[in-house]
Amino acid sequence: MDKFTALEPTRLYSSSTSVQNKRASRAQPIARWIGKLPADIHLLVLNHLPIPDIPAYARASRATAGLSRDEKVWERRWNDLAITRHALDDTLDDLESKQKPKAGTRSRSPPMIPVDPLDDDFGKFASAPRTPSLSAAFTSFAFTDASPGKRTFRARYTRAHSILKKCLAPLQQPPHAVLSALTPLIGTSLLSQARSLRLLNFFLSPRVQPVRNWDILLGALKATTDRFDVSLLTAFDAADSRGDEVMMREAAHASWEVWPGFGDWEMGKVWAEKREILYEQGRWNPLANFTNENTLDFTPMDEFMASVIRALEEHGTRAVLVFPPAAGVLIGFAERVANEVVGEYIAPLLTRAREISNALYLTAVAASFRESWRIVDVLITVSSNFNGKGKDKVEDVVFMMFEPNMDEYLDEEVESLKQAFEVICKEWDRSTLALASHSTSPQAHQTRFLTAQNPALMKRTVLASFTNVLLLPVTIVPRTVGAGVVAVGGAVGGAVGAVGTGMVQGIAMLNPQRWVGGTGSADNAKEYASFGSEGAEGESTIFEIGADEEGGDDGVDDTTASTRDTASIVSASTAATSFATSATKPNLAPTENLDLLLSLDVALQLIHADRDALKRLETFASYPGQYGVRVRETIEEAFCEMLGVLCNRHLEKGFGIATERMNSYKPAEHDETASVAPLLQFFELVHIGDTIQSMVQVFFDKELAPHIDKTDFLNMVVREKKRFENTLDDCVAAGLNAGTQVLMNQVEHIILTLTKPREYYPPEDAPLELGSTKGCTEAIRCLDTHCKLLKGSTSKEVLEVFYQEVGIRLLAILQKHIKRQIISLNGGFQVIADLNAYYSFIASLKAGPSPLLSVAWCLIPCEQVPSITADFSHLKMLGHVFVVEDAKDLAQIVRDVTRYGGAYRPEDIYEFIQRRADWKKIEKTVDKTMYNLSFKEDCIVC
């Protein structure tokens, strides 16, 4: 009845717009209902309906018949066969070719009644089943596609169904005869049989249900598949025993085709279990890697790993050739070798190393992992499938094998590093006490930065050599006796792990304590005695001096400067600095040996110990997952721990003691006036601190930067490094502040002691000399000496602030000094001469560029410091008040505020002119002229 619809009434002469809207509404799809259910429910039922029930459903009505031909239904059925997904199209074609009747034979198919599919929408149904014995199980049917030339999903499934249904009859045979009965239909090749069985397994799946008794036939098919798989395993073993790789490959691929896809693949598992390498653990003794001296020699492990590598190469090559790549047999075999062979070998080795010492344990862990990593290299070489993304699977073999050791190793690495730092600090304190107990003069065996003709070149040389040391290769796996554990300078002892001998030698070349040979222990001296080669003229060469990148100092010829600089650095074993120094204050004079409060030797040892741990940790840097995160966190923690120890226990402590001693310095107790010993020694301390900071920066850039994001200001390493720099800045600032005060105390002492009582009130008949006084000359010489010493070790900003601070304090001293004197007219010229000398000195101070990285300290903000040169210019003008004879003119000068640029008020100048020798004579005139009154005449006290 669906073909007949009632006619709708139409309105005559309707507008064209209404007609178009009506036609558009008719063209819109209307929800279809079949019976009392929508079409979507019918489609859902059809998707889960067994194949034999679809013809009965289609006979219900024309609507259900049309719905049964919907492509969505047959697309799902086709996908359930998994022919396209598993590339079984060729297998289906082979089955069809074998089922075609041979030429000359008559077809046994019953006659079909031709029915026009356009008349009934049912298609063609078979009048009788082709196999009488299965008449109760099947409802044979055949669909005729309305478009024969179009490859629809319905047509594909119909073809596959008709082909595979013919292969179900042998499944009714007894279990032992099913495979023989199937052979004519599926072929004799092992691979074709396996693929055909797999296709039948998909055909009889619960999602398809092609026949009524599909579950019974599926059980028979699975039993047949198991028998087939057992026969394949037997054939594989036989081929393996005689080395027939072609037969092994055919049997393995056939077995992989019939494997259901869950559980362990039996053939790959059995093959791996029969490899002899899994049962040869008794051949190797892990404890043979320890020498009689309880050091590591991994030569036995090299032999063991060579045997493992040979086995992996031999069996891995065969596994790649025989087994399908998707089976993962090679990875499974490598995992068993790693866990059952290599892992069992490493476990007792690490246990024994832990019993001996922590340092040996850390070395053994890193060396064992490096040796185990050779498994990854050989697997990548054997199979090309592990290149690119497949490489992660190979690396996971070693990672998973080594995971049980990672927690203990990472915890022990940090604890051992802390112990090493503690040993270094205690050893340094002990060396300091030993040095303080001797009465030898430090000047006898040390040369400082300040005495070098080019300290900047010396620093650049040290940093260049330090950079070269960081680039030296590190030996993780010890190959010779004693190479596994290396004591760092004797101070670290057994607490510091192993690195290559080249690294230790490189660090030793940077160790000035070993150059001078004075403060180290006997063992240290012996350890480093062989370093440094003798030059052609018998002088010990410490560094190879390269070209000066920034040129020589101003006013010095390049050739002569480079010659002198090279000679100053190479000439003596005492060259470089007072790097080997003290860190404690007992038994030392309050203001002596301040330059012995910091030690580049200690900094080198701390950096060396941290680099050892870092190189071991870098072995595990590629670890994935949570252990990879822990490795990176441990790397950061190790560097932060080194910075904390270097900052808190060395730099901050040394600068603090130096500042305290400078504050206690009293110039009157010392005969020397040209120099301030504490300040000179503190300048040396600033050079050492600047060099240490530069070394830390180089170490950070070379070793830590690849592991962190330097732009992440929240990163723990970046924050700790910033705190280290700020602490050093604060220490230097506090020290320079104290040093500046000591320097100015010394200048004031020089001025007081060297200025004669009548220096500015000479006799009337004394000849007039316009030169500077001795006190002025010595004070300027002292200031000039110390200002030049600081230049080159700090930045331009630091020098400017230092010069400003010196100028401000010197100005106050001179004003105070003038107010203590009695100055005559002739003495006024002497005052002007001294003030001119002081002004010339201040004007000569220029902060040049700093050639090195330096601390950026600041005593007071630069914008708050007035121009000190202008202040001295005003002070120089102030000297004129002592040479004016006329009292009225003097009063006019005092009242002229603009004369001194506003630096001095009239009241201030009035205090200065009171120091004139003739003040009592001119006082009334000056007061009357300035204030237009005389206090003594106009004021009456009642």
pLDDT at position 941: 54
Give me the mean pLDDT over the 449-459 stretch: 63
Which is nearest to 839 in space by CA: 869, 814, 799, 798? 869
The pLDDT assigned to 454 comes to: 63
CB of 469 closer than 8 Å to CB of 505? no
| Cα 834 off chain centre by | 60
The region of weakest confidence among 37-41, 529-533, 548-552 is: 529-533
Higher pLDDT, 874 or 117: 874
Q: How sure is the predictor about 811, in pLDDT bands with cuts at 50, 70 and 90?
A: very high
Q: What is the pLDDT of residue 34?
A: 82
Q: Is residue 202 over pLDDT 50?
A: yes
Q: How far apart are CA 731 and CA 737, in angstroms?
A: 10
Mean per-residue pLDDT over the chain, rounded = 75
Cβ atoms 856, 815 nearer than 8 A: no
Nearest to 570 by CA among 551, 542, 547, 592: 542
| Among 201-205, 208-212, 899-903, the least confident range | 899-903
Checking if the pLDDT of 148 tops 50, the result is no
pLDDT score at 739 = 84
Could you read off the pLDDT of 218-261 as tens digits, one per residue?
999 999 999 999 999 999 999 999 989 999 999 999 999 988 87
Query: Checking DSSP bridges between strand 540-541 and strand 533-534, what pairing results, if any?
Result: antiparallel
What is d(CA 907, CA 905) in angstroms, rounded to the nearest whole number?
Answer: 5
- Stretch 181-205: mean pLDDT: 89
Burial class (CB in 10 A: 0-12, 13-18, 19+), 215: exposed
Mean pLDDT of 34-43: 86
pLDDT category, 571, cuts 50, 70, 90?
Answer: very low
Inter-residue contact 47 to 53 (CB < 8 Å)? no
- Nearest Cα residue to 339 out of 385, 419, 405, 415: 405
- Taking 60 as the threshold, does the pLDDT of residue 29 lie above it? no
For the chain, the farthest-separated pair of C-alpha atoms sits apart, in whole angstroms, at: 163
Query: In degrees to the nearest 10, what's the CA dihedral of 432, 438, 439, 443?
Result: -50
Q: What is the pLDDT of residue 735?
A: 86
Greater confidence, 221 or 102? 221
Please compute the mean of the pLDDT values over residues 66-70 and round it to a whole number: 88
pLDDT at residue 446, as a whole number: 44
For 273-280, the CB contacts below 8 A with 24+ separation are 274/240, 275/311, 275/315, 275/333, 276/311, 277/307, 277/308, 277/311, 277/315, 277/337, 277/341, 278/336, 278/337, 278/340, 278/341, 280/307, 280/341
Residues 6+ apart with CB under 8 A from 72: 43, 47
Through-space distance between the first and last CA atoms of the chain, rounded to whole angstroms: 143
Q: Which of 215, 183, 222, 219 is nearest to 98 (CA)?
A: 183
Residue 670 predicted with pLDDT over 70: no
Q: What is the pLDDT of residue 620?
A: 92
Average pLDDT over residues 696-714: 87
Query: Sorting pLDDT into bands at 50, 70 and 90, what band is 10?
Result: low
Which residues are registered as beta bridge partners of 720? none
569 vs 414, residue with greater confidence: 414
Q: Following DSSP, what letter does each residue of 311-365 receive, concatenated?
A: HHHHHHHHHHHHS-GGG-HHHHHHHHHIIIIIHHHHHHHHHHHHHH-HHHHHHHH
How many H helices and E strands in the chain? 37, 6
- Out of 101-115, 407-421, 577-591, 675-689, pick the least confident: 577-591
Query: pLDDT at position 422, please?
Result: 92
* DSSP string covering 126-186: -SS-S-GGGTTT---EE---SSTTS--HHHHHHHHHHHHHTTSGGGGS-HHHHHHHHHHHH
Percentage of the chain with pLDDT > 90?
26
Reported as a single tens digit per residue, the pLDDT across 752-803 is 888 888 888 888 877 777 788 999 999 999 888 888 877 755 667 777 888 8
Judging by beta carbons within 10 Å of its beta carbon (0-12, 13-18, 19+), is residue 10 exposed, middle or buried?
A: exposed
pLDDT at 769: 76
For 470-504, write each residue's pLDDT tens digit: 766 667 777 653 333 333 333 333 333 333 333 44
- The pLDDT, as a whole number, for residue 594 is 66
3-state secondary structure of 296: strand
Give the length of the chain.
942
334 pLDDT tier (thresholds 50, 70, 90): very high
**pLDDT digits 0-9 by tens, 645-669:** 999 888 888 888 888 888 887 777 7
Q: Identify the pLDDT of residue 772.
A: 87
Of the candidates 565, 728, 554, 585, the residue with the CA atom closest to the CA atom of residue 664:
585
From CA 441, how far away is CA 763, in angstroms rounded? 48
